[in-house]
Structure 1
Amino acid sequence: MTKNNDKPYPPDPRGCAVRALEWVFVRHLPLDHFFAGDKGFLALPVKDRALTRAITGTTLRRLGQVDAVIDTLLAKPLPRQAKTARQILRAGIAELLFLRSAAHGVVHSFVELAGRWRAARPYKGLINALFRRVTREQQQLLADVPLVLNIPDWPGENWDKLYGDGTRERAAQSMSEAPFADLSVFKDVEQWTKRLEGQKLGTQTVRLSSRGRIEKFDGYDEGGWIVQDLGAALPVHILAPKPKENILDLCAAPGGKTMQMAAAGASVTALDNKKARMIRVEENLKRTKLPAKLVCADARKWTSETQFDAVLLDAPCSATGVFRHHPDVHYNHRASDLDELTANQLLLAQQAERLLKPGGRMVYCVCSAEPQEGEDVVTKLLEGSDLKLDPISQKQAGFASEFLKDGMVRIPPGSLLEQGGVDAFFIARFRKV
C-alpha cells in the first residue's frame, strides 16, 4: 500500500480512491472492508467520500476498457513494480472517460499524487503525458474499447458457454453503472412503493428510482424495509416460512433473510461465524424491530438440542453473481478457488441436513453464477442423503419462473436488463424424508 513519504498530507478523495484500488489489486481484499475501516477515507467529508466511491466503483466497473486504453497508449508495458502508478492511471482515466470530471482538476490532482508518493514518483512524467493524451483523444479511445472487456475472461468466457452467446455482453451492460437499490418491504408493499416513488418487483421488492445514502430515504428509521437485491429476496419466498415455525438461518449475516423470515412470524435462529458480521445483524434487527436468536459459531461444527422445521443455507461462495453491486468480486476469486469453496459448501449443506427435522424443508442458495457451486453441490448432496429435491413450481419462483431448470432456479448473469437487472443466483429446495 502507498504511504506519504515526505510529510503528512490531509486525506483527499482521489488519493483514497487509489488506495482503495490497491486494497483490491495489491492486497486482494474486498472493497467494502476498505470503505468500512480506512481512517483516511472515513475522515473525508461526506461529499468527498462520495467522489472516492464514484471513482473507485467506476474504475472497477470499467476496468477492462480502462486497461485496454492504458495498453494502447503505452509504448511498452508498465513494470510489475509500478503497482501504485497503475492504480493512479486506472483511477484517473476512469474519471476522465466515464465520470467526465473537469480535465484540468483530474490531471492536476493525480499527477500531484504521483509526485507525492515515492512508489509512483518515477512515473510522474509518464502519468502526466498519458492523462493529457486521454483528454485530447477521448472519443477515439472510447470507440476502440468494447463494453464486454469489463467482464474478465474468467468467469466471462465460461458464462457464454453455460448460458449462451451474449451472456458476457449482457453482464457487462448490467454492470456499466451502479444499480438502483432494491428494498425488501415487510408489509404494505403498494404503500411503500408510492412513498418511495419506486417500482414494485416480485412480491415484496421496491426498486428505487434515485440514488443516495440509504439512511436518507423515507422510512429508514421506521424499519419497514431493508436493502436487498431482488434475487437475494427470492430464497425466503421459496422456503415459505410460516408463523411460529422454528427456522435456522445458516451463514446469516448481514441478516436480510433472517429479517424476512422473522417478519413472516417465524422463530428464527441466525448463525454466522464472524462476530463483526453478527454485530451488523444485531443492528439491522434493532432498526427493523424484529426478533431473532443470534449465535456466533462455526456452522460446520455447531449442534442443537432440537432440530428445526426449516433451514435456509445461503452458503459462502465466489459471489460472481453480485458484480452489479460489488464489481470487485471478479478480482477477489479465481477459478482455482472453486474446489475449496465447493468442499465447504457441501460440508455446510450436510450439516444443515443434520439440523433439519424429518419432513422439514431446506433451501440451499448461492449468489454465484458457477454451476460447481450450485447444481454440482446439489448432485453431491443428494448422494446417500435423506434429502429429496423438492421441485420449485413456476408460481413459487415468481418473477424467476423463466429461469427454472430441473426444479431449481438458476438466474444467469445479465438477466432482466429491461427492468434494471438482477443479481445472478442459484436456489434449490429439499425435503428431508
Structure 2
Amino acid sequence: MVLSGAQRHRSHAGSRHVVDDGAGTPGLPARRAAARLLAAVVDKKTPLDGLTDDEHGHPDYRALDQRDRGLVRAILATALRFRMTIAALIERRLDRPLPANATALAHILHVGAAQILFLDIPDSAAVNLAVVHAKSDPRTERFSGVVNGVLRELVRRKARALPAALAESTDAPAWFIERLEAAYGKDGAAANLAMHRVEAPTDFTVRSDPDRWAEAFGGFVLPTGSVRVPHLDRAVPDLPGFEDGQWWVQDAAAALPARLLGEVAGRRVADLCAAPGGKTAQLAVAGAKVTAVEASANRLRRLSGNLARLGLDVEIVEADLTKYAPATPFDAVLLDAPCSSTGTVRRHPDVPWTKSPEDILKLASVQARLLSHAAAMVAPGGLLVFSNCSLDPAEGEDMVAEFLQGRTDFSRDPVRPGEFPGVDDFINARGELRTTPAGLPAEDPSRAGLDGFFAARFRKSAPG
C-alpha cells in the first residue's frame, strides 16, 4: 500500500464493486488522453509528434476537439519539460515510494501536478479531475485518496516548494546530462539544460524585408536575419503573408546550413532528406535549381504541400538516398541527416525520454552511410554541407573527422568569420558551425536561444 503524508486510503483486496468510469465528466477525456500519451512516451519511448498528429495520432487524442487537443499538448510538454522536478515534489509527499508497477498512478499524478505547478488551470479542477480519473481506472481506483492527498498538498506548498525543487533539479535523465557535460563541460551543459525549461519562440524565414514582417508579427529580427516572435498569439495559418507564401516557420539555427552553400543562383543543388522543406525553400528563393530528395511518402506530401504554398518550382524525387544515383552530379549538395534531435529539446521535450545513447550511436552509423552516398553526388570542385539538429559530437564533430579520415577527394571548406551576418559566434576552431540552446543570450529567456545544430562544409577536389 502506498501511503500519502496527507491522507491514507485503504481498500480490501477481496471487496467487489463497480468502478465509475467517469463518463460525461467535463475535462476528463483530455486528462485521460494526456496520461495515456505520457505513458506511451515514457514507458514505450514513442515520439510525441506522432502521438499528437491530427490525422494519424493516438485515438484518444484524435477523439478530442481542437481546444482539448491544445490542452493535452500543453500538459504533455510541461510534464516532460519538468519531469524530474515534478517527480521530486510528488515523492516528497509520499510516505513510501510508488510501487514499481504503479505506472498508471504515476502518470495521473504527473498530469495533475503539471497543471497545478505550471499551467494556468484552477487548482481545484486539476485535483478533482485527477481524483475522478484515478477512481475511473481499476488499476488506480484504490489509490484515489493518495492522488487527492498528494495533489492537495502540492497546491498548499507550491509557492515555496516549487522554486526549491527547480533549483535542485536539472529535469533531464542522467544519460543525457552525462553526454552534455562530456561535450560542453558542466557550465555549458547547465546553460543548455536551463534553456530546455523555456518554451521555444517561433522563428520565421522571410523572402524579403524582415523588418516589415517582424512588425507585422509583433516580433524582432535576429542577427542572422530570421524573424523571432517570443509569444505567438495566433495560429500560423492566420498570420498575414501565409496564403501568398511570403515566409515559412524555421528555427533560426535550421536556417543556417543552407547559407553555407553561398551564392547558389543558377546552380544545380540537391537537398537530401529534404522534408519539411525549409532548406529547400531557402535554396529555391535564392535562385538555385533545386532537386529535393525524400524517402518517406508521408514526409514527401508535407514537403510538396509546403512548396506549393510558397509557390516554388522544385524537382521533387521520392527515393532511398542510399540507392539514388542522379544522372549528373550536382554543383552543391546539402545533407541534413536524420539524427537524435537532441538539439530540439525546447520544441520537443520528449526527446531525452524517448532516445538513448544507443540510439545516438545507431543514428551516427546511419549518418555516416548517408554522408558517403551524398559525397558521390557532388561534381568535382563542388560543395557538400552536412548538418543535423543534434547536440552530440558523435553525430557532428566526430562524424566529420571520421568522414575525412583517409579521403583525398574532399577537404574541409571552413566557415569564415564575417561570411554572413550573425554566424561568427557559432563557428568552432575547425570552421564548423555549432549552435546550442544557450546561444543568442538575452535577458528575457523567451527571446533567447536557438536549436542545437551542427554543420560542416567540404569541397570536392577538382581534376588536375
Q: TM-score range by the shorter chain?
A: over 0.9
Q: Which amino acid aligns with 1:383?
A: Q
Checking the alignment, whether the CA contact within 8 Å between 1:400 and 1:411 is kept in structure 2 is no
Which ranges in structure 2 are unaligned for 5 or more consecutive residues?
1-18
Task: Give how far 1:168 is off.
Answer: 3.0
Distance 1:120 1:430, change over 3 A: same
Task: Give how far 1:5 is off.
Answer: 9.6
Cα distance in 2 for residues equivalent to 1:92 and 1:118: 18
The aligned residue for residue 391 of structure 1 is 414
Cα distance in 1 for residues equivalent to 2:269 and 2:249: 22
Which digits, 9 at most, give the CA deviation of each residue in 1:296-341, with x for residues without a partner?
Answer: 2221222111111111011111111111111111112111222211
2:200 pairs with one of 167, 179, 187: 179
Task: Give how far 1:111 is off.
Answer: 1.3
Checking the alignment, whether the CA contact within 8 Å between 2:85 and 2:171 is kept in structure 1 is yes
The aligned residue for residue 29 of structure 1 is 46
Cα distance in 2 for residues equivalent to 1:347 and 1:141: 49
| Structure 1 stretch displaced more, 144-153 or 129-138 | 144-153
How many positions carry a matched residue from both structures? 430
Matched, 1:144 2:164: yes
Q: Which amino acid aligns with 1:202?
A: P
Cα distance in 1 for residues equivalent to 2:158 and 2:102: 24
Matched, 1:263 2:246: no
Task: Give how far 1:293 is off.
Answer: 1.6
Task: Give how far 1:277 is off.
Answer: 0.8
**Secondary structure of 2:421 counterpart:** helix
1:99 pairs with one of 108, 111, 119: 119
**Secondary structure of 2:44 counterpart:** coil
**Secondary structure of 2:200 counterpart:** coil
Checking the alignment, whether the CA contact within 8 Å between 2:270 and 2:330 is kept in structure 1 is yes
Checking the alignment, whether the CA contact within 8 Å between 2:216 and 2:240 is kept in structure 1 is yes
Distance 1:342 1:397, change over 3 A: farther
The aligned residue for residue 71 of structure 2 is 51
Q: Which amino acid aligns with 2:279?
A: K
Task: Give how far 1:219 is off.
Answer: 1.6
Q: Superposition pairs for residues 211-222 of structure 1, below 5 Å?
A: 211=232, 212-222=234-244
Which digits, 9 at most, give the CA deviation of each residue in 1:347-368, with x for residues without a partner?
Answer: 0000000011111101101111
The aligned residue for residue 280 of structure 1 is 302
Q: Which amino acid aligns with 1:279?
A: R
**Secondary structure of 1:22 counterpart:** helix
The aligned residue for residue 3 of structure 2 is none
The aligned residue for residue 19 of structure 1 is 36
Cα distance in 2 for residues equivalent to 1:426 and 1:387: 19
Question: Normalized against structure 1, the TM-score is what?
Answer: 0.94
The aligned residue for residue 416 of structure 1 is 440
| Structure 1 stretch displaced more, 40-49 or 401-410 | 40-49
Task: Give how far 1:7 is off.
Answer: 8.6
Cα distance in 2 for residues equivalent to 1:130 and 1:100: 19
1:167 pairs with one of 172, 183, 188: 188
Which digits, 9 at most, give the CA deviation of each residue in 1:136-175, with x for residues without a partner?
Answer: 1112321331354213322223323422332233223322
- CA RMSD in angstroms comes to 2.0
Checking the alignment, whether the CA contact within 8 Å between 1:151 and 1:171 is kept in structure 2 is no
Matched, 1:300 2:300: no
**Secondary structure of 2:125 counterpart:** helix
The aligned residue for residue 224 of structure 1 is 246
Q: Superposition pairs for residues 22-421 of structure 1, below 5 Å?
A: 22-36=39-53, 37-147=57-167, 148-211=169-232, 212-385=234-407, 386-396=409-419, 398-405=421-428, 406-418=430-442, 419-421=447-449
Query: Which structure's residues are more often helix, by fraction?
Result: 1
**Secondary structure of 1:395 counterpart:** coil
Which digits, 9 at most, give the CA deviation of each residue in 1:79-110, with x for residues without a partner?
Answer: 23222211111111111011142111111111
**Secondary structure of 1:417 counterpart:** coil
Distance 1:203 1:27, change over 3 A: same
Task: Give how far 1:397 is off.
Answer: 5.5
Matched, 1:432 2:460: yes
Identity %: 35
Cα distance in 2 for residues equivalent to 1:8 and 1:222: 45
**Secondary structure of 1:337 counterpart:** helix
Task: Give how far 1:194 is off.
Answer: 2.1
Q: Which amino acid aligns with 2:200?
A: P
Checking the alignment, whether the CA contact within 8 Å between 2:20 and 2:135 is kept in structure 1 is no
Checking the alignment, whether the CA contact within 8 Å between 1:60 and 1:327 is kept in structure 2 is yes
Question: Normalized against structure 2, the TM-score is what?
Answer: 0.88
Distance 1:268 1:109, change over 3 A: same
**Secondary structure of 1:345 counterpart:** helix
The aligned residue for residue 14 of structure 2 is none
Checking the alignment, whether the CA contact within 8 Å between 2:440 and 2:450 is kept in structure 1 is yes
**Secondary structure of 2:199 counterpart:** coil
| Structure 1 stretch displaced more, 4-13 or 44-53 | 4-13
Q: Which amino acid aligns with 1:412?
A: T
Q: Which amino acid aligns with 1:14?
A: R
